[in-house]
């Protein structure tokens, strides 16, 4: 049986997906936790809102890591983690932007 040769493009794709899973998943989980804690703080005490959002962010992080390896391409893995992270980060920063901080 002849061993299959793995070229550098395959290794680069797997490395890119791993970085997307780790870094992009972290960014997505952080944005999710920030946005959800602000939304939940409207109807429950702030400490409980932050705790609930942080616990749910672990689930989002695991889903994002799974998505990074499920995506058809490495670009899809990056887009599937960073684009929602940017949207959620903007939602979390919107109240501060609306106040017009100097």
Residue 35: predicted pLDDT: 95
Residue 2: predicted pLDDT: 67
Give 10-residue mean pLDDT values along the chain (102 residues). Answer: 78 93 96 95 95 96 95 92 94 86 56
Residue of 40, 57, 59, 58 lying closest to 48 (CA atoms): 40
Element (H, E) at 57: helix 46-70
Residue 39: predicted pLDDT: 94
Residue 40: predicted pLDDT: 95
Signed CA dihedral, 32, 27, 25, 20: sign only: positive
């Amino acid at each position: 049986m002849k061993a299959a040769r793995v070229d550098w493009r395959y290794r680069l794709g797997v490395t890119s997906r791993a970085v997307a899973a780790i870094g992009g998943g972290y960014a997505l989980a952080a944005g999710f936790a920030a946005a959800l804690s602000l939304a939940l703080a409207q109807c429950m005490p702030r400490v409980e809102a932050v705790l609930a959002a942080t616990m749910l962010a672990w689930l989002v992080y695991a889903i994002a890591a799974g998505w990074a390896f499920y995506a058809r391409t490495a670009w899809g893995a990056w887009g599937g983690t960073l684009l929602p992270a940017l949207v959620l980060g903007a939602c979390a920063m919107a109240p501060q932007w609306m106040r017009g901080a100097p």
